[in-house]
Amino acid sequence: MTVLQRAIFGLLVCVSLATYPALADSKGENAEKFVAKLGETALSMVTNKDLVGDARREEFRKLLQANFDMAWIGQFVLGKHWRRASPDQRETYLKLFEESVVFTYTNQFDEYSGQTFEVTGNTEADRFTMVKSKIVDPANPESSVLVDWRLIEDNGNFKIVDVVIEGISMGITQRNEYSAVIDSNGGKIDSLLVKMEEILENLRKRA
Amino acid sequence: MHRAAGVFLVLFLLAGCASAPQDAAEGPQIYDPIEPVNRVFFAMNDAVDTMVLRPTAFVYKTAVPDPIQDMVRNFLLWLRSPVVIANSLLQGDTDNAGNATRQFFVNGVTAGLIDWGNGLGWGYRDEDFGQTLGVHGVAGGPYLVIPILGPSNGRDLVGRVVDRFFDPLTYIVSGPGARNAITIARGTGEAVDFRARNYDSINDLRASSVDYYARVRSIYLQRRDAEISNGQPPKGVQAADGSQEFEKFEPSDRPRSVTGELPANTN
């Protein structure tokens, strides 16, 4: 081996070592693409002025079910109470939970005013992949909102299990809130279900 | 001055004895020993919001021209910058202090009304003494709802009091009457500005809530943790929000389940 050959060999080793973590990162990159695509789809849905009422809610529900692991999120949010819930309560709860998510978010579609969505990076956290993104308001570019997405990979498919807005986890917030209702009603899960039904009724009226 | 020192001492003791019993299994550390009292104050504040703040913010955001609203916001931010600078320095964050100082002097040319860094951004975060205490390891202490002022905790209430000493206005303005008038005017301005900018979000937040008190409490505590860590997860914790709850969670329809039986009809 000449000096030159050795140098080239060394260079190759370096390059292959450098690319190795890049290959391992492709999970993170795929996760970024997944979130970017979701952002695009959601934005086109929000800006589609012809999509209103029930049709809009059905579209959103499809998007939700395809991209979010609703059963996972629902169980996480009910937390320690899930174990005690009867099969009937679980079924009612998961239905109410999905319904309230659908109404809460579709009701806010009309507040959209030209914000853009941008994926900015990812980190691996145990079995989760966190995708970082920001929502930029062109009218006020300094106050962009940071949104982190917690993804879990299941048989090669990504599903979102939490959304963290400026450090506030939607899953944890909802979990704290639901457990406060159950705890203040002597641990009765039905008390939460009644309350959820009531709020859902209000959201339907606001829709 | 003596009275202020007394208040400070009491608050400091309050924060000090607040080594909260931390339930590691449940979420951000929610320590709310006077919850019934807090709920009463929260309901009062909510009534003030519905009857006074919300309508005022609505009129403000619809009737006042946008450039004027920007000026009000710029001015309020400018007034705050000495407190940000002091606390950044106390946290050892000279970059943040430097950027806030630049903003203070450049915008000071037009009395803070016009933001000359608009579009470029001054690149500093808001800092207060509650965050400074948090950075130095002081726990939040009991969650508190303060009449009119809203959610807080032992640490952040101490921070509020201390921040007044970092504020040049405290020393420039003479006489407690004028000082109080300025504090009230400024507080009102900040409240209206905040409510107007988040008008729909706050209404939605309230309307979709099964327990508004618990929701706001959770948001406040998580947000303060994020502000203290400047959005960076603490060392050794990989979760972006610094919580380990997700790491431990196993849904019952997945392997490594800890919750036992399969859920009925989940898919």
* Nearest residue, CB atoms, B260 vs list A83, A142, A180: A83
Q: What percent of chain A has pLDDT over 90?
A: 61
pLDDT value, residue A137:
85
Provide the shortest C-alpha distance from residue A18 to chain B (in Å): 24
* Nearest residue, CB atoms, B231 vs list A167, A192, A206: A167
ipTM value: 0.83
Residue B102 tokens read as 């630049």
How far is it, in rounded angstroms, from Cα A194 to Cα B216? 21
**pLDDT mean for each 10 residues of chain B (267 residues):** 50 44 50 94 95 94 90 89 93 89 85 75 86 92 94 95 89 83 90 92 92 95 91 53 68 54 41
Q: What is the pTM of this model?
A: 0.82
**Which residues 6+ apart lie within 8 Å of B145 measured at CB?**
B38, B39, B41, B42, B45, B151, B152
Which spans in A68-125 are helix H?
Answer: 70-78, 87-106
Partners of A135 in the beta sheet? A117, A145
Q: How confident is the model at residue A138 (pLDDT cuts 50, 70, 90)?
A: confident
Are the CB atoms for B239 and A124 separated by under 8 Å?
no
A120 has a pLDDT exceeding 90: yes
Q: DSSP assignment, residue A68?
A: B
A24 has a pLDDT exceeding 60: no
Tally of structural domains, chain A: 1
Q: What 3-state class would DSSP assign to B216?
A: helix
A 80-119 residues with CB < 8 A to B: 80, 82-83, 87-88, 90-91, 94, 100, 103-104, 107-108, 111
- Is any Cβ of chain B less than 8 angstroms from the Cβ of A132? yes
Which is it for the CA torsion A154, A157, A161, A164, positive or negative? positive
Residue A153 tokens read as 């990979």
Picking from B266, B235, B240, the residue whose alpha carbon sits closest to that of residue A151 is B240
Q: How confident is the model at residue A163 (pLDDT cuts 50, 70, 90)?
A: very high
pLDDT value, residue B118:
63
Is B265's CB within 8 Å of A90's CB?
Answer: yes
> Domain of A26: which CATH number?
3.10.450.710
Task: Enumerate the residues of chain A whose CB falls inside 8 A of the CB of residue B230.
Answer: none
**Which residues 6+ apart lie within 8 Å of B147 measured at CB?**
B41, B44, B45
pLDDT value, residue B120:
60
Helix-, strand-, coil-residue percentages of chain B, each rounded to 5: 60, 5, 35
Continuous segment of H or E residues that includes residue B190: helix B176-197
Domain hosting residue A191, numbered range: 3-206
**Which residues 6+ apart lie within 8 Å of B253 measured at CB?**
A71, B262, B263, B266, B267
pLDDT value, residue B16:
43
Residue A198 tokens read as 């009531």
Provide the shortest C-alpha distance from residue A4 to chain B (in Å): 44
pLDDT value, residue A155:
79
pLDDT value, residue A168:
92
Picking from B48, B49, B230, B216, the residue whose alpha carbon sits closest to that of residue B144 is B216
**Which residues 6+ apart lie within 8 Å of A146 measured at CB?**
A132, A133, A134, A165, A166, A167, B231
